[in-house]
Structure 1
Amino acid sequence: MKNYKEVVGIDVSKNTIDAYCYQSQVHREFVNDIVGYKSLLKWVLKTTKGVAVFYCFENTGYYSLKLALYLDSQKVIYVEESPLKIKRSSGIVKEKTDKLDAALIARYAWLYREELKPSQVKSKSHLELGRLLALRDLLVRNNAGLKGTLKEMKVLLSSPTTDTGCIVLKRSIDYQEKQVKSIEERIKEIISADALMSKNYELLTSLKGIGLVVACQLIYHTGNFTRFASWRAFSSYCGTAPFEHRSGTSIYKRKQCHYLGDRKMKSLLSMASVSAIQHDSELRLYYNRKLAEGKDKMLAINNVRNKLIARAFAVVKRGTPYVVLQQYAA
């Protein structure tokens, strides 16, 4: 991005977007819809007088997705960056306005323009896969809450089978379970329709402990294994990679996982690791060996998590299913 002469920082909110041209130091607010996006491009073209310009905005989920889709359709170069990176590069900021946020985004993009790379919109199948996975997670959590409420009510009532509240809760639980199954069927259809995703899905599910949900989450978060250069980079993204913490001769702590990471992915990998320890003899021996070395259970579980991540990237890179070598040992 170093050949660009201007950058437009955009602060995206639900109804409006605030744009700030860093070199021209001008600001303007637009509506967060197609009409506003068209007005934005016209205003930038008039303000910058045709110089090479790129856009930068924070990834704010559905709010920024509309803008990204429009810019991509118009072949406009843009960078969709993590809000945390921009916030930590801004220094001490005591004021909070949309105009100031847009200016800080523009400043960040200009200072780091040589390191930034253009963003691309994910395919429709990837976007739908992400939405369905999020919706499934929401329904499962809601259903768990309903089951807990039903369990408590059964303890208090002498005849839970005739109580209206219990009957309604049972119907709601059954209905949501049907909806979860329908979402899973649609997820399988999306995976089957894409040859690359289907192949990687088959490779991932050859690993013990990795099923439908974990495999699909891995495919989605890794951009079908194109987003991260190595399994270690993805481990860092999930928050399972240990990092050193020392300074001089007085501060020296054991390696620990950083608190920043994708907690949902980390939680799924934890459950996958527990399942893998139960059903995979190699990982079970590996886990027990770590315990025998004096490591606590959570640290040993984290080692298994990283083993699973490494195996997932390995089978995708090789293009062959995982083979348990222990069964061929003499």
Structure 2
Amino acid sequence: MKNYEEVVGIDVSKKTIDAYCYQAQAHREFINDIVGYKSLLKWVLKTTKGVDVFYCFENTGYYSLKLALYLSSQSIVYVEESPLKIKRSSGVVKEKTDRLDAELIARYAWLYREELEPSTVKSTSHLELGRLLALRDQLVRNNAGLKGTLKELKVLLSSPSTDVGCLSLKRSIDYQKKQIKSIEERIKDILTEDASMCKNYELLISLKGIGLVVACQLIYHTGNFTRFANWRAFSSYCGTAPFEHRSGTSIHRRKQCHYLGDRKMKSLLSMASVSAIQHDSELRLYYNRKLAEGKDKMLAINNVRNKLIARAFAVVKRGTPYVVLQQYAA
């Protein structure tokens, strides 16, 4: 990104986008649709007088995805950055407006232009996989809430089998179970249609503790294992990597995981670790050894989480399923 002479920072909201040209110090608001994107490009071309320009905006989910898809279709260079990175680089900001946000995004992109890498749109199968995983997660949470409500009603009522409320809840629970199963079948179809994702999925489920959901989440969050250079980088992303915390001679704490991380992925890895400890003899011995060393349970489970991440990256890099070495030991 070194050869660009101008950057356009874009603050994306549901209905509008605010664009700010950093060098020209010009601002304008557009509608967040195809017509607005075309007007944006015309305005930038007129304002910057044809110099090399790249665009930068925050990743805001579906709202920014529409813009990313359009810029990608026009072969325009853009950077989709984490909102947290931009916020922390802005210093103390007391005011909050869409124009100011666009200006701060443009400032960030210009200052860090030599370090930024152009973004690319994920494949259609990858995007659909992410949407289905999110929908499945929402249905599972809703179903858990309905089950809790049904359990409470059964305690309060003398005849729960004939109560209209209980019957309605049971039908809703059964229906959502069918929907969850249907989504899981569609997820399997997506994996089957993509050879690379299908191969990595088969490799991942060869690990004890990793099933359909965890394997698919790993594929989605790692960009099918292309987004992170190694397992340690992904561990840091999940919030399971320990970091040092010391200063001078007075502050010297033990290594701890940073609070910033993908909580959903961390939670799934925790459940996968508990399952792996129960069904994988090697990880069970490893976990018990950590406890014998005096580590508390959560720290030992975090060690198992990192073991699972390391194994996942290893089987994908090697291209062969995981083999339990103990069964071949003399």
Q: What's the TM-score bracket when you normalise by the shorter of the two chains?
A: over 0.9
- Aligned-pair CA distance for 1:282: 0.2
Distance in structure 2 (CA, Å) of the matches to 1:297 and 1:91: 38
The residue aligned with 1:65 is 65
Q: Give 1:92-107 correspondences, 5 Å limit.
A: 92-107=92-107
- Verify: 1:250 aligned to 2:250, yes or no: yes
- Verify: 1:13 aligned to 2:22, yes or no: no
Q: Give 1:1-330 correspondences, 5 Å limit.
A: 1-330=1-330
* 2:295 aligned counterpart, secondary structure: coil
Deviations 1:287-309 (A, max 9, x none): 00000000000000000000000
Distance in structure 1 (CA, Å) of the matches to 2:258 and 2:146: 34
Give the TM-score normalised by structure 1. Answer: 1.00
The letter for the 1-side match of 2:94 is K
Distance in structure 2 (CA, Å) of the matches to 1:300 and 1:159: 47
Distance in structure 2 (CA, Å) of the matches to 1:119 and 1:176: 37
Distance in structure 2 (CA, Å) of the matches to 1:27 and 1:110: 16
Distance in structure 2 (CA, Å) of the matches to 1:225 and 1:92: 36
Deviations 1:233-279 (A, max 9, x none): 00000000000000111111100000000000000000000000000
Distance in structure 1 (CA, Å) of the matches to 2:279 and 2:103: 53
CA-atom RMSD in angstroms: 0.3
- Aligned-pair CA distance for 1:134: 0.1
- Aligned-pair CA distance for 1:163: 0.2
Q: Which runs of 4+ in 1 moved over 4 A?
A: none
Distance in structure 1 (CA, Å) of the matches to 2:66 and 2:305: 35
- Aligned-pair CA distance for 1:63: 0.5
Distance in structure 1 (CA, Å) of the matches to 2:294 and 2:145: 38
Deviations 1:103-136 (A, max 9, x none): 0000000000000000000000000000000000
The letter for the 1-side match of 2:246 is R
Distance in structure 2 (CA, Å) of the matches to 1:174 and 1:86: 44
- Aligned-pair CA distance for 1:53: 0.3
Task: Structure 1: state its 5+ residue gaps.
Answer: none
Distance in structure 2 (CA, Å) of the matches to 1:92 and 1:285: 49
Distance in structure 2 (CA, Å) of the matches to 1:213 and 1:229: 23
Task: Structure 2: state its 5+ residue gaps.
Answer: none
Distance in structure 1 (CA, Å) of the matches to 2:2 and 2:58: 20
The letter for the 2-side match of 1:173 is I
- Aligned-pair CA distance for 1:2: 1.0
The letter for the 2-side match of 1:126 is H
Distance in structure 2 (CA, Å) of the matches to 1:297 and 1:109: 43
* 1:256 aligned counterpart, secondary structure: strand
Deviations 1:63-92 (A, max 9, x none): 000000000000000000000000000001
The letter for the 2-side match of 1:57 is F
Number of corresponding residues: 330
